[in-house]
Chains A and B, each alone.
Chain A
Amino acid sequence: MRETKRRMELFSSYDRRGMELHMERMAAEGWLIEEISTFTWKYRRIEPKKLHFCVTFHPDASEFEPEPSENELEFEEFCRHTGWVLAMKRASMLVFYNERENPTPIETEPEVEIDAIHTGMVKTVLVPYLVLAVMALVAGGVCLFFILQNPAVQLANAGAAASVLEMGALLLLCMVEIGGYYLWRFRARRAAVHGEFLESGRWATLFQRILVIFVILVFAGMLVSLAVQSGSAAARVLLTTLVYAVGAVLINGVRNALRKRKASPGVNKVVSFLVGFLFLFTLLMVVNIGMMVLNDTVFADSDEESYEYEGNTFTAYHDELPLTLEELLGIPSDGYSMRRWYEGSFLVQRSEMSQYPRFDAEDFREMPDMSYTVTHISVPALYGICREDLLNDAQNTVSDGEVIYRDFYEPVDPVPWGAKEAYRRYHLESYTNQYLLFYSDRIIEIRFSWEPDEQQMQTAAEKLLAGQ
């Protein structure tokens, strides 16, 4: 029979009443709380009994202090005198239990309780949440900045799109924890004037659970999206996440071990930080190098081949394409490298495809080629910024108010393309054979090495729209 067990529990940091009721239920089932660590709560087996719990704070208590301070021990003695026994502590949060039937609560004055909680909350919860909020804001802001720079490409990056959502959820979580606590404090002080206690925010726990489920779903969605495109990208994200999770557990372990060995708080903080930093740095390096090896072996594209030309090694691809030169010009695909590259999120999906002659083909310089990208926008609200992004891909270079380098898209007749809008790119001194085509939910960029006729335009559009 197991003597201990660990469970993942999710509670808002200031939902003390929710935690107390949960611990009471666990004690009635024969499990007494023993430790709260980074990801789990640890319980030890006891005789099932009715226990009362109290979650409170002491400003001296810390995760880095090797021994409890005299003040803290005095506080514990006061509590013991009225039957309250310390079950566990984490940072400045202390959990007591009491076996008496109707014990005197640890806190009997609401105003005093609110002040005592506040000191502990600021140190243990609010400051870390504030730091986390700033980190989420910076990380999410950087991702958002890059997405806004090049939305058509970046929104198709499952990792980038999921990062913004996850950082946004994390920021929201921090704001709800901090804001929710201050709102509770405001209401609790108002109730305290009338000598009343106000229960802590149970709704915040519910909100936190919903957000965590949302984050897990987004993460799972990102993994599935990546796995569909490339097992390598999914494996990298999974391994990196694992490294961070193990790093968090390791830092916690080092901190606890040093505290047990009576290391000073300063030494403990520095060593825990250094161990965590070195571990993450080394392991992330190992993951990156490992992924490079795996990419060349396990995740290598089976449809590619290497060939030699004038002493150099090149790669030829044999991917299936929705539109080929054979369909437009009747040229067989022999002697060509045909490549398809796909990237997509639940917002935008992008397929980049090309058909280029191999260098070892006879007269490869005379052989026609083409390349095209199809961007499918799943969320109509994002169509506008993707359209602007792709149109702005061509931009004149202006110096002293004078255009010195002409590069722009000019509207052309969309009818041959069956599109809503069509543009042709003008580059330097002449029109190129590069077109930008807008359809209801997708945008096609297509480039030919020759000037296509109307029949070829129509065939290309039909094939590309049918091929998605």
Chain B
Amino acid sequence: MNLYLYIQKGVTPMPRAKFQTLTEQMFYILLCLKEECYGMDILDRVPAMTENRVSVGSGTLYNLLEQFLNEGFIRETKVEGRRRSYILTEKGREILKKEYDRICAQAVDYRRIFGEEEGQ
């Protein structure tokens, strides 16, 4: 991939198709929405769920919720003033499961290479 292709043909240097795999933050945002939840509450839930290992920025969450809505991964359930709540859709559940399977496959591969004990 080079700059020429990017400028001339609009080819971007991102090899990964959107949402084919999920980043850690995307994964936990969707996980939070297994149950109906206010968008803003996700900002607290993700660090709580991961023992502060993962935090999501407010701008990132705001934009990702919009993208998840557009992709049909989540749907809006309630609007109270500016507070909107969301829940995972079937499509969202599928993409989450696919990501889980991918992570599991990685774990299996790791164990196969390093052995069961080391993997634990």
- Distance in Å: Cβ of B102 to nearest Cβ of chain A: 16
- Distance in Å: Cβ of B95 to nearest Cβ of chain A: 16
Q: Choose one: A82, A182, A186, A190; the contact of B58 (CB below 8 Å).
A: A82
What CA separation (Å) do A293 and B12 show in the bound complex? 61
Is B107's CB within 8 Å of the partner chain A? no
Contacts of B67 in A (CB 8 A): 112
Contact A109 B14, CB 8 Å, known A56-B59, A75-B62, A78-B59: no
Quick check: A186 and B59 within 8 Å, CB to CB?
A: no
Contact A107 B82, CB 8 Å, known A81-B43, A193-B13: no
Number of A-B contacts (CB under 8 A): 81
Quick check: B82 and A113 within 8 Å, CB to CB?
A: no
Categorize the interface residue count of chain A. Answer: 20 to 34
Quick check: B43 and A195 within 8 Å, CB to CB?
A: no
Q: Which of A98-121 contact B (CB under 8 A)?
A: 104-109, 111-113, 115-116
Q: Which of B24-42 contact A (CB under 8 A)?
A: 25-26, 39-40
Quick check: B82 and A116 within 8 Å, CB to CB?
A: no
Quick check: B64 and A112 within 8 Å, CB to CB?
A: yes
Contacts of B62 in A (CB 8 A): 74-75, 78
Contacts of B1 in A (CB 8 A): 190
What CA separation (Å) do A136 and B1 show in the bound complex? 34
Quick check: B59 and A190 within 8 Å, CB to CB?
A: no
Contacts of A81 in B (CB 8 A): 40, 43, 58
Is A130's CB within 8 Å of the partner chain B? no
Contacts of A192 in B (CB 8 A): 14
Q: Which of A387-416 contact B (CB under 8 A)?
A: none
Output the residue of B1, B62, B84 with the most chain A CB within 10 A.
B62
Is B120's CB within 8 Å of the partner chain A? no
With an 8 Å Cβ cutoff, the count of chain B residues facing the other chain is: 28
- Distance in Å: Cβ of B113 to nearest Cβ of chain A: 23
Is A84's CB within 8 Å of the partner chain B? yes
Q: Which of B54-72 contact A (CB under 8 A)?
A: 55-64, 67
- Distance in Å: Cβ of B17 to nearest Cβ of chain A: 12
Is A26's CB within 8 Å of the partner chain B? no
Quick check: A116 and B59 within 8 Å, CB to CB?
A: yes
Contact A193 B15, CB 8 Å, known A108-B25, A112-B64: yes
Contacts of B26 in A (CB 8 A): 109
B residues neighboring A (CB under 8 Å): 1, 3, 6-7, 12-16, 23, 25-26, 39-40, 43, 55-64, 67, 82, 84
Given contacts A82-B43, A82-B57, A109-B25, 15 further A-B contacts (CB under 8 A): A70-B82, A78-B43, A78-B58, A78-B62, A81-B40, A104-B58, A107-B57, A108-B60, A109-B26, A113-B60, A182-B7, A183-B3, A186-B3, A186-B7, A195-B23
A-B pairs, top 6 by smallest CB distance, nearest first, are A108-B57, A78-B58, A106-B59, A190-B13, A104-B55, A79-B58
A residues neighboring B (CB under 8 Å): 56, 70, 73-75, 77-79, 81-82, 84, 104-109, 111-113, 115-116, 182-183, 186, 189-190, 192-193, 195
For this complex, 29 residue pairs linking A to B, each with C-beta atoms less than 8 Å apart, are A74-B39, A77-B82, A78-B58, A78-B61, A81-B43, A81-B58, A82-B43, A82-B58, A104-B43, A104-B57, A104-B58, A107-B57, A107-B60, A108-B55, A108-B56, A108-B60, A109-B23, A109-B64, A111-B14, A112-B67, A113-B59, A186-B3, A186-B6, A186-B7, A186-B13, A189-B12, A189-B13, A190-B1, A193-B13
